[in-house]
Chain A
């Protein structure tokens, strides 16, 4: 077919930032090619890992929380890392897995959503955002097969349906909608156990935040790669609440009070586990 100007213009019209980079500046994209040689599968290089993200629905929205520890083998690589990020006005993204790749992916995802919004003049639907993230995770599959996996948890307020929704992913980009609550990362099985006992339908926002902090506390109790609340350094989890009004980062003051209550009640119970 003849390549007319109109055809060319139409073919180049994209609202996707990633597509634009692939075409015009491919060197700026994260390099998803597998390593040539040197490192064999199963022996990834020692890089920081981020762990344990929890998310749950509550009356009118969702809450997502992440601890602040990154580990490199048996070493604590960082006590200040942040693993939960606002993706746009109505959604948040939590990351577990290889920290460097996950943070890069988050940055690209944030620009992707903002770019779409500015070009089209409207927000992407929540399902659209979730699918886009799945495609980006699949792009990382060669690295994941070598042990550098990123497993995100995505949650947001669906403005069309008027409810908060949660999505989990596997390393192939498979997208699974979760009901009620979910957790990812090495401490997730302990966090999930806590969520099962503490969560109930239609929690008020402050109770949901408190449940998120307590389930992270339980994860930190049993998983060495998850950091608990740190009163010495005044470090608390990163918690976001998203509802009809948008995403809000819960202040350190609120979190300090909630973490204080949890530590106090556990100390008062004087129980081993």
Chain B
């Protein structure tokens, strides 16, 4: 008879956490910044169709780093959760807090019960009527959840990038400045001196979408052209 090797729970969890961290560290960074006009989401992503940033609901966006199939399935689950909730109650009853706690539960369940943990880190952002009412939640592979302020940096060299953002962040940044700050942060994680617009994925949650564009849906993906113009404004 072969006997099972004993592995202590501490060791098991540590191994899983190390495994997940390694997977996440291979990916490029994603930055979520709260600013005066709303919330800007910027990712380094050379693919024009496989998104790291997505819309969940009227005021809520999603950003992720790690394994694409894993965070994509979480994004779709989030859209389903939000649409069912908004359809059965009311659109105002869909909140980032509710969504984040559902994500925390599923990530936690996968981390402890499944063969392998998800190699992902997520951000759930909800834009409010004023900057104080913005919500940024960070969710990690083990299901822990953190309520962040001002900005979130996730991915490979998050510490380095985070330092760069911290230095430049101000309360009253407009979108253009926030996005340029994020790009400067992303460059610190890179060998190349600058990032072309083609390699960037940029989206915003517009604080005043209702008055400016006449729609409740605050999420707007910026086209390549928009990004080129934004980056060129810098002088």
Contacts and interface: CB of A to CB of B under 8 A. Distances in A.
A244 interface: no
Contacts, number: 34
Taking residues whose C-beta sits less than 8 angstroms from the other chain, chain A's interface range is 10 to 19
Given A25-B88, A111-B83, 18 more contacts: A17-B83, A20-B80, A20-B84, A21-B87, A25-B84, A28-B84, A28-B87, A107-B87, A114-B83, A115-B79, A115-B80, A115-B83, A118-B54, A118-B56, A118-B83, A119-B79, A121-B51, A121-B54
B76 interface: yes
Nearest to B49: A121
A222 to B, nearest CB: 35
Contacts of A20: 80, 84
Contacts of A119: 76, 79
Interface string A94-120: 000000000000011001001100110
**Chain A interface helix/strand/loop/mixed:** helix
A30 to B, nearest CB: 11
Nearest to B86: A111
B142 interface: no
Contacts of A118: 54-56, 79, 83
4 A-B pairs with the lowest CB-CB distances in the bound complex, closest first = A118-B79, A115-B83, A111-B87, A28-B88
Interface residues of B, number: 15
A239 to B, nearest CB: 15
Contacts of B217: 114
A107 to B, nearest CB: 7
Nearest to B91: A111
Contacts of B51: 121
Interface in B30-57: 49, 51, 54-56
Contacts of B55: 118
A205 B29 CA distance: 47
Interface string B54-91: 11100000000000000000001001100110111000
Contacts of A17: 80, 83, 87
A164 B86 CA distance: 30
30 contacts: A17-B80, A17-B87, A20-B80, A20-B84, A21-B84, A21-B87, A24-B84, A25-B84, A25-B88, A28-B84, A28-B87, A28-B88, A107-B87, A108-B87, A111-B83, A111-B86, A111-B87, A114-B83, A114-B217, A115-B80, A115-B83, A118-B54, A118-B55, A118-B56, A118-B79, A118-B83, A119-B76, A119-B79, A121-B49, A121-B54
Interface in B82-102: 83-84, 86-88
**Most chain B C-beta atoms within 10 Å of own C-beta, residue among A28, A111, A118, A121:** A118
Contacts of B84: 20-21, 24-25, 28
A122 B225 CA distance: 19
Nearest to B219: A118
A114 B217 CA distance: 10
A238 to B, nearest CB: 15
A27 to B, nearest CB: 9
Contacts of A28: 84, 87-88
